[in-house]
Amino acid sequence: MPELPEVETIVRDLARQLPGAEIRDVEVAYPDLVQGEGAGDFARGLRGAAFRQVTRRAKNILLHLDRGLLVVNLGMTGRLLVRRPGDPAPSHLGVRIRLADGRELDYHDVRRFGCLQRYTDEGWARREEALGIEPLSDDFTPAWLAEASRKSRVAVKTWLMDQRRVVGVGNIYASEALFRAKIDPRRPAHSLRPEESARLVGAVREVLREAIEFRGTTLLDYRDASGERGEFAGRLRVYGREGEPCRTCGNPVERIVQGGRSTFYCPHCQR
């Protein structure tokens, strides 16, 4: 479910609400969500720790503690919610973190593709090496894209979604960025001309920034840390619009499958 804009929205919410809060105890309803150690050690390791700050790396939520960090990946349907006394109980509770001030930080996940894992600072630094560059950082430039994709024959849409290269771009924003850049998603990554690399970098940054401004895209499951929907869905230009008229040329938007995932694009506008 969540790509960079959705995760960033949650992180900004949590960064205002969590620092200073102390963990009273932890209840793990689904042990398979906890990675790296057993549920008992996980719960004991968190008990008594205090939240320092909350940041994002790729599609991961980094909850920095006074000892190490707790990293949450939401998978497809994960939600991380701050719950106050009296708020309705979640229907698919995975992990409940009770805070000393009476609030709860609840992780729910219908499909349970998400995960939570504790890391030491060094452990996370090692794990992070496998992740690509941040698309909203200064590292993401047309020159970098041209060089990094030079030897890759995979379709540019599949290439964009590979988290070892660029992080944070998932199935929705890959389609949207390629539409904005007017590039056919089936093109081999290495075939982009310099001006196309430049357009793609600009389009990725633009669509991610706009989506953050609108607090992300809610198709079905996504909710922010307060349980509210994102408002970007109505601004999607191609994703989920198979057969509907392209907002630029009026020809029907098409859906194809690439790497087992749906891709939406306009064959007339994207070449």
Partner DNA sequence: AACGCGCCCTGTCCGC
Partner DNA sequence: TGCGGACAGGGCGCGT
Please, which residue, 163 or 248, has the CB nearer to DNA?
A: 163
Residue closer to DNA (CB basis): 158 or 197: 158
Whether 59 is catalytic: yes
Nearest CA-CA partner of 74 in 143, 158, 168: 168
Of residues 23 and 54, the one with the C-beta less far from DNA? 54
Do 42 and 78 form a contact (C-beta atoms < 8 A)? no
Query: Minimum Å distance from CB 59 to DNA?
Result: 4
Residue 148 half-sphere exposure toward CB, CA atoms < 13 A: 19
Q: How many angstroms separate the CA atoms of 59 and 212, rounded?
A: 13
Question: Considering beta carbons, is residue 49 or 78 the nearer one to DNA?
Answer: 78
Q: How many residues does the chain have?
A: 271
Please identify which of the residues 56, 59, 118, 157 carries the catalytic annotation.
59
Residue 116, class by beta-carbon neighbours within 10 Å (0-12 exposed, 13-18 middle, 19+ buried)? buried
Interior/surface letters 32-68, b for 16+ CB within 10 angstroms, e for the rest: ebbeeeebeebbebbeebbbeebebbbbbbbbbbeeb
**Does 2 participate in catalysis according to the annotation?**
yes
What does the alpha-carbon distance between residue 136 and residue 206 come to, in Å, rounded to a whole number?
A: 9
Return residues touching DNA (CB under 7 A): 1-3, 6, 32, 58-60, 73, 75-76, 92, 110-113, 151-155, 158, 161, 163, 170-172, 189, 216-222, 230, 257, 259-262
Show which residues are catalytic: 2-3, 59, 261
